[in-house]
């Protein structure tokens, strides 16, 4: 670019000099022709040589009259750098055959050309210097974004994340390139984040599975030890120890049942983790709640079980939703029996995405759950110490219930200080223990309302 600029300015200077000189020579030729014509006109009249020279000679225009005897009247023409017109006029009548020479010095033209060349040289030098400085500035400004991009690229290479090229304008090639690089970085960082999240999740799952297997083995150890002890004792009993044999047989059956229940819970938890296969059908949550009410009436005859609210229809897997309700109701029954109460309240509400959800709350009269444990109870094999001596659960019911609910697009959560009011037969408010809430996408609801106790029907 710099060489092109120099050659361009050199060409402009040469052309300017040539045009200037041609113009000056043309003007000089015109002046000489006019002076020659005037001298010829004067020579035809009665005029003396000296007077002719005075009238024609003006400024840089000079006239020489050379008489036949060699005498020169007027200016003496120099030998170099002149433009002249020389004619031998018919001066036999007045100038006696004198030779008249009209000439003009080219010194003024040469000086003007020298001044022009000097000016062009200075202007050219200043132009080159200015253009060079401007080129440096423009190049610096143009390359600044590239330097910034290179610096940011180096920082990204060194491991810094969240940096973008951030071109000020996408209307230029550089801006569009920077925007494309930013989009690529978004995808790469997103993939990196997803890969790290997947790795962390896999690591957490592996650790969780290791803990789960360890806890499961520990949980199975107790019933297996009981079965082994009862079996060994049965073998060693004398033949006439009928009462002791009956007690050991009962203990053996109880521990076997406990172990079988734990194994079934472990298998069900594994199915939930693997993503249960759902056979969806239209189910009435009110009917399922009443079925659980009738079952509890057999298990805990003195426990008051209530169902109230709207009959809600959902598209769900019968086995999965039954497992959800049964786990929640069994937990409530364990902490509320023998003479407490349980309420299953059905209602609807819209979630944060404005999807209408069926809501089933299972509320009991137990001691409730401390705030620090309200989420921990959904972990596997967790049994709170405050209830460990009074409950016989596997510690898998709540995780299974939540897993099934989430597989249906819903959830199971613990509700601290629920707004549901529970009253006794006299209309007095009852103290509420724990409240677990099941939400499922609503298919539709009916107008029927149930408020039932024990074996009442919807």
Cβ atoms within 10 A of the Cβ of 255, count? 20
Higher pLDDT, 95 or 403: 403
List the structure tokens of 418.
């629920």
Q: What is the pLDDT of residues 21-54, one digit of tens each?
A: 888 888 878 877 887 788 777 777 777 777 777 7
Residues 6+ apart with CB under 8 A from 12: none
Q: What is the pLDDT of residues 265-290, one digit of tens each?
A: 777 777 777 778 889 999 999 999 99
CA torsion 118→121→124→128, rounded to 10°?
Answer: -130
Q: Which segments within 229-297 are labelled E, that is strand? A: 280-284
The fraction of the chain above a pLDDT of 70, given in percent, is 86
pLDDT at site 441: 94
Q: Is residue 18 part of a domain?
A: yes
Report which of 150, 170, 148, 152 is spatially closest to residue 160, judged by C-alpha positions: 152
Q: In which domain, by residue range, is 188 found?
A: 167-274
DSSP readout, 51-99? Answer: HHHHHH-BTTEEEEEE-TTS-EEEPPPPSSSEEEEEEE---TTTTTT-E
pLDDT at site 429: 84
pLDDT at site 455: 39
Report which of 10, 239, 215 is spatially closest to residue 127, judged by C-alpha positions: 10
For the ranges 133-147, 180-194, 356-370, the maximum mean pLDDT occurs at 356-370
My answer on whether 6 and 78 are in the same domain is: yes
CA torsion 258→260→262→265, rounded to 10°?
Answer: -140
Which CATH number fits the domain that encloses residue 431?
3.30.565.10
Q: What is the pLDDT of residues 249-265, one digit of tens each?
A: 888 887 788 778 777 87
Asked if residue 223 has pLDDT above 50, the reply is yes
Q: What is the pLDDT of residues 339-353, one digit of tens each?
A: 899 999 999 999 888
Q: Is residue 350 part of a domain?
A: yes
pLDDT at site 139: 81
Q: Is residue 122 part of a domain?
A: yes
Query: Cα 107 from chain centroid?
Result: 77
My answer on whether 75 and 112 are in the same domain is: yes
pLDDT at site 332: 92
Which CATH number fits the domain that encloses residue 221?
1.10.287
At 349 the three-state DSSP class reads: strand
The fraction of the chain above a pLDDT of 90, given in percent, is 21
Report which of 13, 8, 10, 5 is spatially closest to residue 117, judged by C-alpha positions: 13
My answer on whether 313 and 427 are in the same domain is: yes
Mutual angle of helices 318-336 and 285-299, in 10-degree steps: 40
My answer on whether 21 and 106 are in the same domain is: yes
Question: Looking at 130, 163, 196, which one is the last position of a domain?
Answer: 163
My answer on whether 284 and 264 are in the same domain is: no
Cα distance between residue 27 and residue 42, in whole Å = 23
List the structure tokens of 396.
């898998």
The structure tokens 């049965």 sit at 234
Q: What is the pLDDT of residues 146-185, one digit of tens each?
A: 777 788 788 888 877 777 777 666 677 777 888 888 888 8
Preceding amide of 338 cis, omega within 30: yes
Q: Is residue 458 part of a domain?
A: no
Asked if residue 18 has pLDDT above 90, the reply is no
My answer on whether 37 and 104 are in the same domain is: yes
Query: Cα 198 from chain centroid?
Result: 20
Mean of pLDDT over the chain: 80
Strands 341-350 and 304-317: parallel
Question: Looking at 274, 295, 311, which one is the last position of a domain?
Answer: 274
Please say whether the beta carbons of 227 and 252 come within 8 A: yes
Cα distance between residue 279 and residue 423, in whole Å = 38
My answer on whether 159 and 171 are in the same domain is: no
Q: What is the pLDDT of residues 417-455, one digit of tens each?
A: 888 888 877 778 888 999 999 999 998 765 454 544 443
At 171 the three-state DSSP class reads: coil
Question: Looking at 255, 274, 293, which one is the last position of a domain?
Answer: 274
My answer on whether 263 and 398 are in the same domain is: no
My answer on whether 108 and 149 are in the same domain is: yes
Please say whether the beta carbons of 320 and 352 come within 8 A: no
Q: Which segments within 89-163 are labelled E, that is strand? A: 99-105
My answer on whether 286 and 435 are in the same domain is: yes
pLDDT at site 111: 82
At 108 the three-state DSSP class reads: helix
My answer on whether 256 and 295 are in the same domain is: no
- Find the mean pLDDT for residues 86-115: 68
Q: Per the structure, how many domains does the chain have?
A: 3
- Find the mean pLDDT for residues 233-261: 81
Q: Is residue 3 part of a domain?
A: yes
My answer on whether 365 and 294 are in the same domain is: yes
């Amino acid at each position: 670019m710099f060489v092109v600029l120099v050659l361009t300015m050199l060409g402009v200077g040469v052309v300017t000099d040539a045009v200037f000189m041609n113009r000056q020579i043309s003007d000089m030729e015109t002046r000489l022709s006019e002076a020659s014509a005037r001298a010829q006109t004067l020579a035809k009249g009665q005029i003396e040589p000296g007077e002719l020279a005075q009238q024609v000679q003006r400024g840089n225009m000079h006239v020489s009259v050379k008489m036949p005897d060699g005498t020169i009247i007027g200016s003496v023409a120099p030998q170099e750098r002149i433009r002249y017109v020389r004619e031998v006029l018919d001066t036999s009548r007045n100038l006696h055959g004198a030779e008249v020479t009209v000439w003009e010095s080219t010194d003024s033209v040469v000086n003007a050309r020298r001044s022009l060349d000097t000016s062009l040289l200075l202007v050219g030098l200043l132009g080159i210097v200015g253009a060079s400085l401007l080129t440096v500035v423009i190049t610096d400004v143009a390359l600044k974004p590239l330097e910034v991009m290179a610096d940011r690229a180096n920082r990204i290479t060194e491991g810094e994340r969240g940096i973008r090229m951030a071109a000020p304008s996408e209307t230029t090639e550089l801006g569009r390139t920077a925007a494309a690089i930013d989009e690529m970085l978004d995808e790469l960082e997103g993939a990196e984040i997803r890969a790290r999240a997947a790795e962390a999740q896999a690591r957490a799952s592996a650790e969780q599975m290791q803990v789960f297997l360890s806890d499961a083995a520990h949980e199975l150890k107790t019933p297996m030890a009981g079965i082994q002890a009862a079996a060994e004792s049965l073998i060693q009993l004398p033949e006439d120890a009928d009462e002791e044999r009956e007690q050991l047989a009962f203990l053996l059956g109880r521990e076997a049942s406990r172990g079988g229940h734990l194994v079934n819970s472990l298998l069900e938890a594994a199915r939930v983790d693997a993503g249960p296969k759902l056979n969806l059908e239209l189910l009435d949550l009110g009917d399922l709640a009443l079925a659980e009410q009738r079952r509890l009436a057999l298990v805990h005859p003195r426990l008051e079980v209530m169902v109230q609210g709207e009959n809600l229809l959902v598209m769900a897997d019968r086995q999965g939703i039954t497992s959800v309700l049964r786990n929640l109701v069994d937990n409530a029954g364990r902490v509320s029996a023998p003479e407490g109460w349980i309420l299953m309240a059905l209602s609807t509400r819209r979630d944060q995405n404005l999807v209408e959800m069926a809501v089933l709350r299972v509320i009991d009269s137990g001691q409730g759950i401390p705030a620090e444990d309200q989420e921990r109870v959904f972990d596997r094999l967790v049994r709170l110490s405050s209830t460990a001596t009074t409950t016989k659960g596997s510690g898998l019911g709540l995780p299974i219930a939540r897993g099934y609910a989430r597989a249906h697009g819903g959830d199971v959560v613990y509700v601290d200080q629920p707004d549901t009011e529970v009253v006794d037969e006299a209309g007095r408010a009852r103290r509420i223990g724990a409240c677990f809430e099941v939400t499922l996408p609503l298919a539709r609801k009916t107008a029927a309302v149930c408020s039932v106790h024990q074996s009442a029907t919807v």
